[in-house]
């Protein structure tokens, strides 16, 4: 089809036109599919009511067991949304969940923004188009490691306001915004009773953690918030997470790593898990946390085993803190969160695949889970137990009293021992359960899934620069070194940022004003400048006593930079830390300039509106001959922001004539702007900028703010080569990246890029080498899988069959090894294959004593040249049993290649 299209276009051997045609073709396919889904969405949902009882949410009169996928719409682009939602559905999600971000929607009081990444209505409708329900957490406080917890900064300037307590100015503003969101959803016909996908809403967020800080006002506020939410007539249930005193008509829910022991505050409410933390956030200078999927699956299975009904992954896709949306203190730009879908929109394997299998197993159990009011508990051992869901209801909903059909029955067998596996007897059969795991038996007999046995493939994420780029075909400005790295450009332009007061908009007052009161968070940066008079006797005093004057400040957050006479002499980073900085003055008048910087405003805790930023407490200079100088009473000139921000040097429309060519031996150090143009690698793979050669700053591509960057290094110790999934998880348990910069790669969405001549603008604060910035592709190049004869069969086959009626063929019960490459890639080679007793793990496989000689040829024949393949774990497939009486395993490692590789282009060009 592609060749015919190319021929009809008369492209011949013009490779430039061929790339454009290929990309256009791919985009058309996505557009056609998306268009069809949107059309279907208008008729997908018939109006239905949502209620609940003690067991579950009741949708259209039926109890449901629901899996929810957390996706924050502003942390991706609208062009990414359809794929993210589709992958969530494929992974087994029934529901899409998101917070609402007040400061993104109302950046200026009374001026609303629902465009681009903040087009919430479009996002909700896309979920409906894919047949998914929606859980909208209005809040409006979000936390979410989002700037100021989602509150607009102008809110703190309202006279007499105090956030999140029984305060009339705050309640008035909160009600106004929550009402607007509910009314908007109603006007767009998005509630379930209107035929829309929204089945659940949230008011407030984790308020129970801080309620005691507000005393009686906190308790009154909870009652008010609940009453206000219910008064809006949304027509679907409301929840409050982590709120044990939630009023009777609001469902209180759980947020944690484990919620299997959680019970709501009323027997009339279902057990809901609003945040299952499948990873954790990261701050600059910290290690990267990872949560093993075996433990995550264990937590989910235990939740449903013990009576849970609705579980939401926080996050299913984390995404990116574009612009200045990252919260504080010091949240990084990436919000990957170790989620099942990574920051770039690619599947994170084996996490996504293993959870997909778990979700399929839970769907097989759903008939029993929703018909039984509560499980039967059976103790199987000292740390082993079973929960059985059984009801005398026919699969078609008929009472079994007049039928001979067996009752619906599903069971969960748990081994909560952290060290040893256990063999237990259940209903006359013996089952072996690995440590810290749950086995799922949808028919109370056959185990179809165990949380500790991972059948899903492992995908090794790589960033690569050695693929053919557009610059191979078009004239480009990129340069390539002997290692094959494509650097952004040979030609960089630069301009220097003034290191002092630069604008007529500056003002001079006595003392230092609080940072946010001045900046209103329109910029990270606030300059303070004053003049210090130094006498000859002061200089002599310092020389004779071998001392230096010192600047002392009681409290600083997040960053302070100290300049004397235009020279940077010191830095401080922290959250309200004391600063003591030695100074070096000249005789006469000296300019003392302070620059305070925010790196995300406080997003969590009580009284965040009072936290502020910049400088707090006394500020003085000690060590003068005649005593200390109290700078709190000095005249200070204040200047908001950087001149480059004011001139919009990051904009494509900027025509500032101050840019000059940068030479390699002329790289400035502090507060310098750089710009260059670059082309992008061909294909549809996600793109990242590698900024490890830089220091700290911000970056823009084609005017889009991709976020803050910083090469702050994590601690050298604390990382483990092997992470044991067994036992309770916390964010410090399984960390990586010790001794390295926390983040060096920054996502640039494809929709923000052109084929060529993309403008990159860098604001560098501390010094770095832009000549070494490179553009890379983020992709799953290496894939591995390992499946044994004792593994469970592919669950999708069982879901499509009817396990309860025993309509399962023998072929459906055979384990299979399944491999796939990401979209647009094929399996180009098999680098390892062994059926027998292979050893090792992905990227480190080796043959064991038992090996079927045909392994490589069989796997290559089945998989090579395909996007995906599956191989049954059977002796006959490999020409016979290579070692009778021994359990066999098939281990495979393969390599994926983009369809837009050099060979693809050569073949397409030669055949067109």
- Torsion region of 139: left, alpha or beta (phi above 0 gives left; psi -120 to 50 gives alpha): left
Q: What are the residues facing 816 on neighbouring strands? A: 872
Query: CA–CA separation, 367 vs 408, rounded Å?
Result: 7
Burial class (CB in 10 A: 0-12, 13-18, 19+), 316: buried
**Does residue 182 contact residue 190 with C-beta atoms inside 8 Å?**
no
513 backbone dihedrals φ, ψ, rounded to 5°:
-85, 150
In our burial notation (b when 16+ CB lie closer than 10 A, e otherwise), range 141-176 reads bbbbbbbbbbbbbbbbeeeebbbbbbbeebbebbbe
- Say how many CA atoms lie within 13 Å of 203 toward its Cβ: 29
Query: CA–CA separation, 793 vs 872, rounded Å?
Result: 9
CA nearest neighbour of 198 among 233, 235, 226: 235
Measured CA to CA in angstroms, residue 539 lies from 530, 544, 562, 588 at distances of 19, 9, 20, 10
CA nearest neighbour of 904 among 87, 30, 26, 34: 26
Tell me, yes or no, if 206 is annotated catalytic: yes
Among 206, 349, 385, 609, the one annotated catalytic: 206
Query: CA–CA separation, 571 vs 276, rounded Å?
Result: 38
How is 320-331 classified by DSSP, letter by letter?
A: B--TT-B-BTTB
**Does residue 339 contact residue 318 with C-beta atoms inside 8 Å?**
yes
Token pair 């950046």 is found at 107
Tell me, yes or no, if 765 is annotated catalytic: no
Query: CA–CA separation, 672 vs 286, rounded Å?
Result: 26
Among 275, 385, 765, 816, the one annotated catalytic: 275
DSSP state of 334: B
- Say how many CA atoms lie within 13 Å of 375 toward its Cβ: 26
Q: Is the dihedral of CA 115, 119, 121, 125 positive or negative?
A: positive
Query: How large is the C-alpha radius of gyration of the chain?
Result: 30
Please give the order of strands across the beta sheet that includes 62-64.
50-52, 57-59, 62-64
CA angle, 422 then 427 then 432, to 5°:
20
Give the 3-state secondary structure percentages of the chain, helix then strand then coil, rounded to 5.
25, 30, 40
Which amino acids are annotated catalytic?
Answer: 206, 275
């Amino acid at each position: 089809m592609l060749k015919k299209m190319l021929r009809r276009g008369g492209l011949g051997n013009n490779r430039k036109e061929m790339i454009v045609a290929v990309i256009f073709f791919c985009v058309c396919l996505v557009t056609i599919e998306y268009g069809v889904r949107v059309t279907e969405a208008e008729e997908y949902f018939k109006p239905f009511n949502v209620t609940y009882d003690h067991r579950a949410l009741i949708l259209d009169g039926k109890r449901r067991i629901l899996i929810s996928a957390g996706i924050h719409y502003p942390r991706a682009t609208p062009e990414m949304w359809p794929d993210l939602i589709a992958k969530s559905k494929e992974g087994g999600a029934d529901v899409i969940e998101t917070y609402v971000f007040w400061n993104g929607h109302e950046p200026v009081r009374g001026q609303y923004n629902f465009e681009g990444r903040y087009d919430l209505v479009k996002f909700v409708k896309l979920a409906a188009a894919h047949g998914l329900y929606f859980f909208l957490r209005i809040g409006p406080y979000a936390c979410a490691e989002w700037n100021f917890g989602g509150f607009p900064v102008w809110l703190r300037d309202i006279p007499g306001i105090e956030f999140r307590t029984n305060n009339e100015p705050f309640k008035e503003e909160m009600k106004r915004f929550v009402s607007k969101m509910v009314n908007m959803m109603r006007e767009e016909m998005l509630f379930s009773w209107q035929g829309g996908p929204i089945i659940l809403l949230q008011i407030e967020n984790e308020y129970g953690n801080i309620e005691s800080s507000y005393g009686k006002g906190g308790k009154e506020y909870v009652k008010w918030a609940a009453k206000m939410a219910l008064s809006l007539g949304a027509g679907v249930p409301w929840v409050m997470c982590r709120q044990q005193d939630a009023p009777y008509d609001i469902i209180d829910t759980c947020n944690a790593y484990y919620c299997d022991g959680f019970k709501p505050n009323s027997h009339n409410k279902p057990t809901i898990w609003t945040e299952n933390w499948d990873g954790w956030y990261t701050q600059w200078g910290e290690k990267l946390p990872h949560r093993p999927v075996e433990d995550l699956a264990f937590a989910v299975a235990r939740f449903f085993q013990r009576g849970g009904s609705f579980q939401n992954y926080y996050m299913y896709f984390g995404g990116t803190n574009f612009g200045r949306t990252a919260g504080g203190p010091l949240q990084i730009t990436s919000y990957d969160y170790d989620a099942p879908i990574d920051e770039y929109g690619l599947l994170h394997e084996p996490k996504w695949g293993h959870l997909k299998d778990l979700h399929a197993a839970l769907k097989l159990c759903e008939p029993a889970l929703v018909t039984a009011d509560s499980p039967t508990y059976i103790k199987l051992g000292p740390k082993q137990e079973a929960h059985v869901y059984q009801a005398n209801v026919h699969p078609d909903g008929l009472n079994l009293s007049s039928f001979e059909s067996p009752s619906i029955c599903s069971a969960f067998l748990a081994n909560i021992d952290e060290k040893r596996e256990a063999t237990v007897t259940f209903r006359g059969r013996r089952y072996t359960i690995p440590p810290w795991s749950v086995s799922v038996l949808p028919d109370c007999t056959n185990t179809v899934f165990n949380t500790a046995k991972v059948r899903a493939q492992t995908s090794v994420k790589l960033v690569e620069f050695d693929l053919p780029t557009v610059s191979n075909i078009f004239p480009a400005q990129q340069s390539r070194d002997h290692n094959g790295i494509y650097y952004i450009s040979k030609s960089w332009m630069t301009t220097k940022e003034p290191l002092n007061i630069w604008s007529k908009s500056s003002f001079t007052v006595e003392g230092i004003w609080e940072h946010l009161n001045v900046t209103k968070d329109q910029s990270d940066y606030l300059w303070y400048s004053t003049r210090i008079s130094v006498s000859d006797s002061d200089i002599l005093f310092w020389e004779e006593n071998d001392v230096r004057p010192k600047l002392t400040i009681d409290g600083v957050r997040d960053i302070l930079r100290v300049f004397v006479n235009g020279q940077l002499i010191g830095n401080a980073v922290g959250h309200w830390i004391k600063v003591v900085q030695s100074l070096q003055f000249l005789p006469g008048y000296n300019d003392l300039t302070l620059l305070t910087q925010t790196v995300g405003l406080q997003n969590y805790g009580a009284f965040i509106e009072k936290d502020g930023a910049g400088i707090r407490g006394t500020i003085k200079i000690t060590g003068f001959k005649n005593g200390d100088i109290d700078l709190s009473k000095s005249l200070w000139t204040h200047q908001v922001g950087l001149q480059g921000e004011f001139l919009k040097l990051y904009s494509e429309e900027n025509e500032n004539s101050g840019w000059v060519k940068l030479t390699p031996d002329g790289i400035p150090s502090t507060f310098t702007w750089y710009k260059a143009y670059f082309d992008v690698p061909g294909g549809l793979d996600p793109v990242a900028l590698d900024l490890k050669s830089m220091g700290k700053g911000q970056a823009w591509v084609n005017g889009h703010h991709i976020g803050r960057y910083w090469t702050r290094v994590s601690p050298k110790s604390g990382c483990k080569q092997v992470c044991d999934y067994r036992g309770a998880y916390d964010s410090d348990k399984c960390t990586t990246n010790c001794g390295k910069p926390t983040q060096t790669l920054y996502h640039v969405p494809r929709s923000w890029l052109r084929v060529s001549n993309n403008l990159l603008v860098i604001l560098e604060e501390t010094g770095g080498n832009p000549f070494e910035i490179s553009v890379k592709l983020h992709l799953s190049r290496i894939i591995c899988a390992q499946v044994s004869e004792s593994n469970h069969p592919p669950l999708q086959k069982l879901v499509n069959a009817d396990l309860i009626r025993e309509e399962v063929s023998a072929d459906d019960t055979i384990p299979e090894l399944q491999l796939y490459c990401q979209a647009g890639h094929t399996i180009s080679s098999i680098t390892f294959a062994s059926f027998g007793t292979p050893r090792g793990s992905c990227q480190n496989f080796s043959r064991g004593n038992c090996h079927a000689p045909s392994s490589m040829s069989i796997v290559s024949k089945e998989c090579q040249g395909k996007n995906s393949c599956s191989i049954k774990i059977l002796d006959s497939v490999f020409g016979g049993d290579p070692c009778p009486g021994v359990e066999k395993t098939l281990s495979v490692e393969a390599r994926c290649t983009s369809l837009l590789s050099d060979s693809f282009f050569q073949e397409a060009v030669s055949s067109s």
